[in-house]
């Protein structure tokens, strides 16, 4: 069984896409062992509880710099993959070392555009519209010491419409996120990912 832990900070629609993909057998050999939130009361915790998944609510204001270490304490030796799904705290320390190439994140733009420190949520789409890009989308990438700088696994493009608002664009990108994240997990769980330097190659 390919065991997963999912980190969340909010509503957890990306978490839900993984839960649904397991329940509909798209992710056949996968299980979510833990859902961990850095925000007490995040709705994603409810989603996990509704699916009998063990949850931890680690208030980032309480754990501060020890948050990554606490996450490692919970998952070390227990899961194969750590998935950041709408998670807003920065990971650091031993967690990044022990889970090298086993942590992935979903970002709502085509990295390297509109990413990096402070670029999350609606702001990403505001910047895309402000810049005037014709195509945006989402990226699933490995997490390294940087912010949104790890090797790219999957990207999905979304056409920007003339009458788009940040909210309408966010909605359409989220639909693609909910496809991209399970697809990336499936590739990893089936061992179909390899590297050519920084590039991720394998069956797409």
Tell the smallest beta-carbon distance from residue 13 to ligand GRF (Å).
Answer: 3
Sign of CA dihedral 180, 186, 190, 191: positive
| Rounded distance between C-alpha atoms, residue 62 and residue 38, angstroms | 10
Q: Tell me the number of residues near ligand GRF by CB under 6 A.
A: 14
Cα dihedral across residues 127, 125, 48, 104: positive or negative: negative
Rounded-to-10 torsion of CA 72, 31, 18, 151: 50
Query: Which of the ranges 7-15, 61-69, 96-104, 128-136 carries the binding residues for ligand GRF, by CB under 6 A?
Result: 7-15
Out of 75, 86, 152, 193, point to the residue binding ligand GRF (CB under 6 A): 86
- The CB-of-170 to ligand GRF minimum distance in angstroms stands at 7
**Local structure of 169: helix, strand or coil:** helix
Q: Quick one: which of 4, 10, 114, 137 contacts ligand GRF (CB under 6 A)?
A: 10
Residues 14-53 that bind ligand GRF (CB under 6 A): 14-15
Distances (CA, A) of 132 to 95, 122, 153: 38, 16, 25
Choose which of 19, 53, 83, 174 interacts with ligand GRF (CB under 6 A).
Answer: 174
Distance CA 140, CA 156 (A): 9
128 binds ligand GRF (CB under 6 A): no
What is the pattern of x (binds ligand GRF, CB under 6 A) and - over residues 98-117? --------xxx---------
Nearer to ligand GRF, 111 or 187 (CB): 111
**Cα 66 from Cα 2, distance rounded (Å):** 27
Determine whether the annotation assigns residue 127 to a binding site: no
Which ranges of 3-121 would DSSP assign to H, the alpha helix? Answer: 13-23, 43-49, 60-63, 67-75, 94-98
Positions marked catalytic: 107
Interface with ligand GRF, residue 82, by CB under 6 A: no
Binding site for ligand GRF (CB under 6 A): 8, 10-15, 85-86, 106-108, 174, 177
């Amino acid at each position: 069984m390919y065991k997963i832990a999912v980190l969340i900070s909010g509503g957890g629609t990306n978490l839900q896409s993984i839960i649904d993909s397991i329940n509909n057998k798209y992710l056949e050999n996968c299980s979510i062992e833990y859902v961990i939130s850095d925000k007490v009361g995040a709705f994603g915790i409810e989603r996990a509880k509704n699916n009998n998944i063990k949850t931890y609510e680690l208030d980032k204001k309480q754990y501060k710099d020890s948050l990554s270490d606490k996450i490692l304490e919970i998952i070390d030796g227990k899961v194969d993959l750590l998935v950041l799904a709408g998670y807003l705290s920065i990971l650091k320390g031993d967690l990044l070392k022990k889970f090298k190439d086993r942590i992935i994140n979903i970002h709502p733009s085509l990295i390297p555009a509109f990413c990096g420190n402070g670029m999350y949520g609606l702001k990403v789409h505001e910047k895309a519209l402000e810049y005037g890009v014709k195509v945006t989308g989402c990226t699933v990438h490995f997490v390294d010491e940087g912010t949104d700088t790890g090797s790219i696994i999957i990207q999905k493009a979304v056409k920007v419409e003339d009458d788009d608002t940040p909210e309408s664009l966010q909605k359409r990108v989220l639909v693609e996120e909910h496809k991209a994240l399970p697809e990336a997990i499936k590739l990893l769980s089936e061992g179909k990912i390899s590297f050519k330097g920084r590039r991720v190659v394998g069956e797409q």
